Amino acid sequence: MELRREEISNGPVITGFAGRGFRLRDRVFDGGILIDPGGVTGWDAPARVAQLTIEMLRPILDLEPRAEFLLLGTGPSLVRPSPAFTRAIEVLGLGVEAMDSRAAARAWGVLRQEDRQIVGALLPHR
């Protein structure tokens, strides 16, 4: 039996990890990333989830069509964002799914294959 990777036709694919960051095909991002169905950009992510603000995520939160939820990669382990941060995201009409950044990178691919309209903010994973 031959196994072949299904390619996502619309949007970036996280293909692995590199140092503290992420690999997307031939591109390596040394730190955090902001990712949406239309692209990915390197992100000067805060050192801790508690330092996150809505303004840091504006490039992906204001996109149209509006995302269903924010996939938040919280670094090497799961750290729940503050209730105030979560409420601020929910006021925009988005949910928040927090998980460690490696799990978030894997979840990104699965959710995009389902054609879910999501955005992601992934802090460096170590």
If one counts the domains in the chain, the total is: 1
Q: Is residue 3 part of a domain?
A: no
- Residue 90: other Cβ atoms inside 10 A: 13
Q: Residue 117 in contact with residue 67, Cβ under 8 Å? A: yes
Q: What domain range includes position 112? A: 32-122
- Report the distance separating Cα 88 and Cα 104, nearest Å: 21
pLDDT at 11: 86
Phi-psi region of 65 (alpha: psi -120 to 50; beta: other; left: phi over 0): beta
Quick one: average pLDDT of 64-73? Answer: 96
- Report the distance separating Cα 121 and Cα 34, nearest Å: 5
Q: Is residue 59 part of a domain?
A: yes
> What would the pLDDT profile of 9-31 be if each residue is shown by its tens digit?
578 999 999 999 999 999 999 99
